[in-house]
Structure 1
Amino acid sequence: MKAGISFAQGAEHRLSVFPTGAESLEAGHSGPTAAAALAKLASLDGVELARNCPNAVALLSNLAAAVAGQKSAAQTQLFKLATLSDLERKLIADVLGTGEIAGVAALPDGSVARIEETLLAGIWRVCIGSDQAQEYIEVGAIPQIVRRAATDLTSTNLTIYAAPEGAMNVLPVLAEIRERALGWRPGMSAHIINFTLLPMSPVDQAFLQQSVGNGPILLTSRGYGTCRVQATGIRNVWSVQFFNSTDSIILDTLEVGGVPTVALATDEDFEDSAERMQEIIEAYFE
């Protein structure tokens, strides 16, 4: 089994199965000149912005058209940022803002992609490594790089070894996970195992995590509370945990299926984002 990124170290919360890490998932876009660039942008009217940032204006117009016609089940649409000037990049970052979901995905070549949803649901900013040439905007339910990592860096083989002394329920749970993971196909509903309700001893917890391992993807959604979505090392198997506003876990689950729906943009999200995108363009440039 290929190893992904492990987020198990430095746990901040006491969870029933999959510990959360202390890593920050915020993908920063500010730099030494960001404040000056945004101050310059704020001083320009719509005509001047269009004159100084033609590529950014064209990109925003294309994004508006893309999100207006996007559906959650459709192929994503990708827009590269390589041709934009630093000022135009700052304009794009200012217009799109930072949304609730951020995360990372490991890639087969050893690089890491930073993923960040913008304020407009279904419009994502993705950067591979630290190369600006590998930064792009993607419109879709979830960036395709997440789905690829979930397939390319996970294993279809869940080996179940003899349970250690002190185990209670872990063997039937592992058998259920293996059967469901092998049988899942795109379009099928996810199968959910709720560890908040299922009695699992500390030995069960440790053996389960050791068996499925940590996978190549970690996404965190911060809304009214926090939801953490982590791929395990087994294909189609995800840890999904919900925390309240005080960072206490309130729901600890394992999902067998595609990318969990809590991380996906919906058709309603695209409709709302298309409306807001048009309002933003009118406010900035008209």
Structure 2
Amino acid sequence: MTKGKGKGPTPKAENRHWHGKRQKARAAKNSRRTGTPTVGPGGDRRAAAAEGAERASRPAGARRANGETPELVTGRNPVVEALRAKVPGSALYVTDARDDRVREAIQMAADRRIPLLEAGRSELDRLTDGAVHQGIALQVRPYRYAHPDDLLKGAAPLIVAVDGITDPRNLGAIVRSAAAFGANGVLVPERRAAGVTAGAWKTSAGTLATVPVAQCTNLSRQLKAYQKAGCFVAGLDAAGSTRIGDLEVAGGPFVLVVGSEGKGLGRLVADTCDMLVTIPMPGAAESLNAGVAAGVSLYEISRLRGA
């Protein structure tokens, strides 16, 4: 994939060779989008909260001043799996260290310099809001989201935006595909959408440490901002008029919008897209989940970009 280093800032949309194609695509799409499912599952930077035991000692349901909610992974096996997946932790709470799995978790936490805090069972009950914790809980460090503008790097940025995806595992899978095929990052809405949780970290297989995820308050508005910055915006949809593998414009500054498997793209988001594209599926399946659809599409885009 061409990184575009040293080629200067992204040109404005009206200066792009495909600007006329965008207008034609919009005219062809017009009001075709009626809510059909996606063929695929489809400003200042926020500072992370202060690290350390003080932050970790807050109840799991407490709200932070900046609106973030702490997350706790509870139970022996889930905690061990989270630590193995290198989910970033800020503290490990332990009631009794005599269990082998608990001792394994303690050793992994120590290797990663995660503070170990002793807590009584009643204290852990309070911290986990009564969840089944088996005497151990991992406090997950709040994720530091990027600003949407941070994803506009290079002469031909590639961005994946998600709409209506509420399963963190799907988000993690999309981030993993974004890393595999050289995308600049992933854009998610702040509300009614999956965020970066322990589940997303585990599914991403560690790629969340290298691929930025940005949040926006209004997805349609941010997509329009990307268009003004020179990006072509295409949404995955079963009713798309063009196959994703035939979209030559994907070789330039490009935003791929992936919706949920059930509801697809929202109406406003679909109307904002320059074009709706589809994944040809000769088999019996009617749709793909978000992670798979994003992976297939990003492969086709990377091929078009000569990666």
TM-score category of the 2 structures, normalised to the smaller one: under 0.3
| Normalised TM-score (structure 2) | 0.22
Normalized per residue, the structure richer in strand is: 1
| Normalised TM-score (structure 1) | 0.23
